Structure 1
Amino acid sequence: MCLIAFDHHPGGEWPIRLVANRDEFHARPAAPLAVWQDAPEIIGGRDLEAGGSWLAVHRRGRLAAVTNLRDPRLKVAADSPSRGALVQEALTCPDLPAWLDRLATGEAARYAGFNLIAGDGRRLWHLHRGLDAISLREVSPGLHGLSNASLNSPWPKLIGARQGLGASLRHGRWPEDALAAMADPHPADDDQLPETGVGLAMERMLSSPFIVGEHYGTRAMTWLSWHASGRIEIGERRFGPNGVALGESVERLAPSA
């Protein structure tokens, strides 16, 4: 996952509403949003190369999503664990705050750079594994965005996605307007680009909310609605090379213990 915008309102009618884009090489095998056959309590897309996920939910009421960190200076061992495994572990660990604390106090250093958001509809946490530090904090209520830096870093595509989600909720056009903002293929102006060490041409290509390319691009666009009753609705739109639409799936989860 490379771009997430979410509205977090614990105690409200909608504790979480979220939209997200997953950018990846088109050749990397992945399964669409569905119930996992070997773990039917989990619903989400799945990376078939490493076995993890970029965004998924658990039937008992838990959400997790991960983004990579774009920082070429951060080096890790070639056999470091997959960051997608963090999503599955966040959903299935018996004590989410304790598990996050263990990661924040050192275990996260085994992974390449990442951002993880995880929560249960009442509390939501952001764990950041960066070059210089590992940090964990509880996310405050309100509109937030996350890409490949840290929470609410002022990248143009993050700002656009967050604004699109906010307008969608204000005008009662959720999720359509939020998804339209995530589908914007226009790159940012050069003077607005971040400097992440990947070169100007790559910064330009990666600066749009929706990335169109023959070999690399936006492969999945996800939206999620979490109702105060515990009901969760999650949908996914899938795309192939050059942004060709490949299909759409929607799953609905009733509250469960």
Structure 2
Amino acid sequence: MCLLAFQLQKHPKYKLIMMANRDEAYNRPTTPADFWSDYPDILAGRDLEQMGTWLGINKQGKIAALTNHRDFSLPETGGQSRGHIVSSYLQSNETPEDFLEQLHNSKNEYSGFNVLVGSSEELYYYSNIEQKTEHLKNGTHGLSNAFMNTPWPKTEAVKKLLCDYAESTNEIDVDVLFNMMQRAERFPSEQLPDTGVGGELESMLSSIFIASKEYGTRCTTVLLVDSEDQVYFEERTFKNGVFATAQKFSFTIENPTA
């Protein structure tokens, strides 16, 4: 996944409002979001190459999401699939702190990543590039392929869109959130980071919703958890940049966990 924004414990009705785009090669095999047959408590999409995922929630309310860290000046490390980090947390009985401590000990087994773990009550962030854990404050946050709240233009844009909208209404319209995540305009080159991919590719990757010949936004996910522990999860998938399908799920968290 390459971009997410979320608001934690700030809205009068929703403990968590999250929206996310997964950007990936169009030919990478993936299944749409569903409860997994081998782990029926987990709701997530699935990468069929490595059998991991980029964002998910389980029936006990554990939440995890991951983005890759993009900086081609850094050496490649590790050969393990980063998607297994998300699925491992959702399968585990560990606290976020214990899980991230163990992950820190195996940080070099993976290429650069950012991971978010916890629940709608509290969330923790870890990057194996920064090598530190952060207990996130309540409020609005954004994450792309740098560190948490790094002010890349599209990260700042989705944070502001989400914050302004959430402050304006007691009822969240998921269509409004999806529209935020489907903005395809690129940002001016002078505002962009230099991650080592070259100016043309940096520009293509600068938009919130990415569409190119072979790579782009494969799905957008909206996750809501309200004050009564009611979960709404919707994933909209795209084929070569064009809307294809939608998967919608609602359930009540069982035995909520922090």
TM-score where L is the length of structure 2: 0.93
- 1:29 is aligned to 29
| Deviation sequence 1:94-135 (CA, Å, 0-9, x none) | 11221111223x3122110000001122220001111xx311
Contact 1:10 1:122 in 2 (8 A): no
* 2:158 partner amino acid: A
Contact 2:15 2:225 in 1 (8 A): yes
- 2:144 is aligned to 147
Relative to structure 1, the CA distance from residue 32 to residue 206 in structure 2 (aligned partners, 3 Å threshold; closer, same or farther) is same
* 2:55 partner amino acid: L
* 2:198 partner amino acid: G
Secondary structure, counterpart of 2:41 in structure 1 = strand
Structure 1 residue 14: Cα displacement? 1.7
Q: Aligned Cα RMSD in Å? A: 1.5
Contact 2:69 2:114 in 1 (8 A): yes
Secondary structure, counterpart of 1:109 in structure 2 = helix
| Deviation sequence 1:44-94 (CA, Å, 0-9, x none) | 1110110000101010111100000001133335x6110000001111221
| Deviation sequence 1:172-192 (CA, Å, 0-9, x none) | 253232221211101100111
Question: C-alpha distance in 2, partners of 1:246/1:148?
Answer: 26
Question: C-alpha distance in 2, partners of 1:90/1:202?
Answer: 33
* 2:143 partner amino acid: L
Contact 2:10 2:139 in 1 (8 A): no
Alignment length (residue pairs) = 252
Relative to structure 1, the CA distance from residue 144 to residue 13 in structure 2 (aligned partners, 3 Å threshold; closer, same or farther) is same
Does residue 7 (structure 1) correspond to residue 4 (structure 2)? The answer is: no
Secondary structure, counterpart of 1:95 in structure 2 = coil
- 2:173 is aligned to 174
Question: C-alpha distance in 2, partners of 1:189/1:171?
Answer: 29
Structure 1 unmatched ranges of 5 or more:
none
Q: Which of 213, 224, 245 is matched with 1:247 structurally? A: 245
* 1:144 partner amino acid: H
Output aligned runs, 1:73-84, within 5 Å: 73-77=73-77, 80-84=79-83
- 1:162 is aligned to 159
Relative to structure 1, the CA distance from residue 11 to residue 204 in structure 2 (aligned partners, 3 Å threshold; closer, same or farther) is closer
Relative to structure 1, the CA distance from residue 84 to residue 226 in structure 2 (aligned partners, 3 Å threshold; closer, same or farther) is same
Structure 1 stretches of at least 4 aligned residues deviating more than 6 Å after TM superposition: none
Question: C-alpha distance in 2, partners of 1:41/1:74?
Answer: 37
TM-score where L is the length of structure 1: 0.94
Secondary structure, counterpart of 1:66 in structure 2 = strand
- 2:235 is aligned to 236
Does residue 137 (structure 1) correspond to residue 134 (structure 2)? The answer is: yes
Secondary structure, counterpart of 2:66 in structure 1 = strand
- 2:43 is aligned to 43
* 2:142 partner amino acid: G
Percent identical among aligned pairs is 34
Contact 1:11 1:228 in 2 (8 A): no
- 1:116 is aligned to 115
Question: C-alpha distance in 1, partners of 2:184/2:123?
Answer: 30
- 1:72 is aligned to 72
Secondary structure, counterpart of 1:40 in structure 2 = coil
Structure 2 unmatched ranges of 5 or more:
none
Question: C-alpha distance in 2, partners of 1:177/1:158?
Answer: 17
